[in-house]
Copies of this chain bind each other. A is one copy, B any other.
Amino acid sequence: MFFICLCVCVCYLLLNNPFCVFFQMYGRYTQELGVYAKEEAARLREEGGRRRSVTERSRSLELLEYDKGRCAKCRICTLRCQKFLISRVGEDWIFLILLGLLMALVSWVVDFAIAICLQAQKWMYGGLESNVFLQYLAWVTYPVVLITFSAGFTQILAPQAVGSGIPEMKTILRGVVLKEYLTFKTFVAKVIGLTCALGSGMPLGKEGPFVHIASLCAALLSKFMSLFGGIYENESRNIEMLAAACAVGVGCCFAAPIGGVLFSIEVTSTFFAVRNYWRGFFAATFSAFIFRVLAVWNKDEETITALFKTRFRLDFPFDLQELPAFAVIGIASGFGGALFVYLNRLIVQFIRKQKTINKFLMKKRLLYPALVTLLVSTLTFPPGFGQFMAGKLTQKESLVTLLDNRTWAKQGIAEGFDYIGNSQAWNHPQVNVFVTLVLFIVMKFWMSALATTIPVPCGAFMPVFVIGAAFGRLVGESMAAWFPDGIHSDGTIYPIVPGGYAVVGAAALSGAVTHTVSTAVIVFELTGQISHILPVMIAVILANAVAQSLQPSLYDSIIRIKKLPYLPELGWGHHEKYNIRVEDIMIRDVTYITLNCCYRDLHDVLLAGHLKTLALLESSESMILLGSIERAQLQALLSLQLGRPRRLEYLRDRATAEKKRLSMVSHPGSEDSSQRVNQEVRFQISTEESTFSPTPTPSMKPLKPALKRPSVVDRPTGIPMPTSPQDHSSSSLKNLFCVNPETEGLENKNVNTNIEGTATPEFRRPPKRVRISVVDDFDVDDDMTIREIAEWEENQLDEQVNFDNCKIDPAPFQLVERTSLHKTHTIFSLLGLDHAYVTSIGRLIGVVSLKELRKAIEGSVAVKGVKVRPPLSSFRDSGTSGTSSSNSENEATELHKLWDRHKSMSLPREHLASDSDEKSQ
Interface residues of A in 211-258 (CB under 8 A from B): 230-231, 233-237, 257-258
Q: A666 — which chain B residues lie within 8 A by C-beta?
A: none
Q: A700 — which chain B residues lie within 8 A by C-beta?
A: 909-910
Q: A866 — which chain B residues lie within 8 A by C-beta?
A: 33
Contact B875–A537 (Cβ < 8 Å): no
Segment with Cβ contacts to B, from A386-394, A468-476, A496-504, A798-806: A798-806
Interface residues of A in 651-692 (CB under 8 A from B): 683, 686-687, 690, 692
Contact of A328 among B8, B321, B570, B887 (CB under 8 A): B8
Contact of A627 among B270, B520, B805, B842 (CB under 8 A): B842
Contact B285–A538 (Cβ < 8 Å): yes
User: Given known contacts A8-B324, A258-B521, is B490 in contact with A273 (CB within 8 Å)?
Assistant: no
- Min distance, Cβ A804 to any Cβ of chain B, angstroms: 4
- Min distance, Cβ A255 to any Cβ of chain B, angstroms: 9
Interface residues of A in 540-554 (CB under 8 A from B): 541-542, 544-546, 548-550
Contact B534–A841 (Cβ < 8 Å): no
The distance in angstroms between the C-alpha atoms of A549 and B17, with both chains bound, is 6
Is A650 in the interface zone, CB < 8 Å from B? no
Segment with Cβ contacts to B, from A377-385, A422-430, A735-743, A816-824: A816-824
- Min distance, Cβ A61 to any Cβ of chain B, angstroms: 23
Q: Which residue of B lies closest to A617 (CB)?
A: B842
Contact of A528 among B282, B530, B626, B859 (CB under 8 A): B530
Contact B309–A314 (Cβ < 8 Å): yes
Q: Mark A564-578, 1 if CB is under 8 A from B, else 0.
A: 000001111111101
Q: Mark A1-25, 1 if CB is under 8 A from B, else 0.
A: 1101100110011001111000000
Segment with Cβ contacts to B, from A35-43, A63-71, A101-109, A640-648: A35-43
- Min distance, Cβ A785 to any Cβ of chain B, angstroms: 34
The distance in angstroms between the C-alpha atoms of A892 and B627, with both chains bound, is 12
Q: A810 — which chain B residues lie within 8 A by C-beta?
A: 816, 839-842, 891, 894
Q: A323 — which chain B residues lie within 8 A by C-beta?
A: 1-2, 5
User: Given known contacts A808-B895, A891-B810, is B31 in contact with A863 (CB within 8 Å)?
Assistant: yes
Contact B273–A273 (Cβ < 8 Å): no
User: Given known contacts A2-B324, A31-B859, A618-B902, is B18 in contact with A572 (CB within 8 Å)?
Assistant: yes
The distance in angstroms between the C-alpha atoms of A892 and B803, with both chains bound, is 7
User: Given known contacts A41-B875, A823-B236, A872-B42, is B285 in contact with A859 (CB within 8 Å)?
Assistant: no
Interface residues of A in 310-365 (CB under 8 A from B): 311, 314-321, 323-324, 326-328, 331
The distance in angstroms between the C-alpha atoms of A215 and B179, with both chains bound, is 45
Segment with Cβ contacts to B, from A181-189, A297-305, A406-414, A754-762: A297-305
Q: Which residue of B lies closest to A4 (CB)?
A: B324
Contact of A258 among B488, B537, B917 (CB under 8 A): B537
Contact of A891 among B327, B808, B814, B899 (CB under 8 A): B808
Q: A517 — which chain B residues lie within 8 A by C-beta?
A: 277-278, 281
Interface residues of A in 820-840 (CB under 8 A from B): 820, 822-823, 826-827, 830-831, 839-840
- Min distance, Cβ A530 to any Cβ of chain B, angstroms: 4
Q: A686 — which chain B residues lie within 8 A by C-beta?
A: 914, 917, 921
Q: Which residue of B lies closest to A91 (CB)?
A: B573
Contact B317–A305 (Cβ < 8 Å): yes
Interface residues of A in 666-724 (CB under 8 A from B): 683, 686-687, 690, 692-693, 697, 699-700, 703
Interface residues of A in 879-904 (CB under 8 A from B): 879-880, 884, 887-888, 891-892, 894-896, 898-899, 902-903
Contact of A820 among B236, B570, B820, B863 (CB under 8 A): B236
Q: A176 — which chain B residues lie within 8 A by C-beta?
A: none
Contact A12–B331 (Cβ < 8 Å): yes
Q: Mark A160-190, 1 if CB is under 8 A from B, else 0.
A: 0000000000000000000000000000000
Is A920 in the interface zone, CB < 8 Å from B? yes
The distance in angstroms between the C-alpha atoms of A624 and B530, with both chains bound, is 60
Contact B573–A92 (Cβ < 8 Å): yes
Is A395 in the interface zone, CB < 8 Å from B? no
Contact A16–B842 (Cβ < 8 Å): no
Contact A272–B271 (Cβ < 8 Å): yes
- Which of A13, A327, A569 has the most chain B CB atoms closer than 10 A to its own CB? A327
Segment with Cβ contacts to B, from A146-154, A287-295, A366-374, A744-752: A287-295
Q: Mark A23-51, 1 if CB is under 8 A from B, else 0.
A: 00000000111110011011001100010
Is A115 in the interface zone, CB < 8 Å from B? no
User: Given known contacts A8-B327, A324-B8, A920-B690, is B808 in contact with A281 (CB within 8 Å)?
Assistant: no
Contact B687–A910 (Cβ < 8 Å): yes
Is A275 in the interface zone, CB < 8 Å from B? yes
Is A533 in the interface zone, CB < 8 Å from B? yes
Contact B537–A257 (Cβ < 8 Å): yes
The distance in angstroms between the C-alpha atoms of A238 and B809, with both chains bound, is 35
Contact A304–B545 (Cβ < 8 Å): no
Q: A787 — which chain B residues lie within 8 A by C-beta?
A: none
Q: A92 — which chain B residues lie within 8 A by C-beta?
A: 572-573
Contact A38–B273 (Cβ < 8 Å): no
Is A905 in the interface zone, CB < 8 Å from B? yes
The distance in angstroms between the C-alpha atoms of A626 and B866, with both chains bound, is 29
Contact B595–A9 (Cβ < 8 Å): no
- Min distance, Cβ A733 to any Cβ of chain B, angstroms: 25
8 contacts between A and B (CB under 8 A): A17-B572, A92-B572, A258-B533, A524-B530, A529-B531, A596-B903, A624-B626, A803-B892
A-B pairs, top 7 by smallest CB distance, nearest first, are: A42-B875, A18-B549, A92-B573, A35-B575, A626-B842, A693-B913, A1-B321
Given pairs A272-B272, A285-B534, 14 additional interface contacts (CB within 8 A): A2-B320, A2-B324, A5-B538, A19-B573, A35-B575, A93-B572, A237-B578, A275-B569, A289-B534, A524-B524, A618-B624, A619-B902, A804-B892, A808-B841
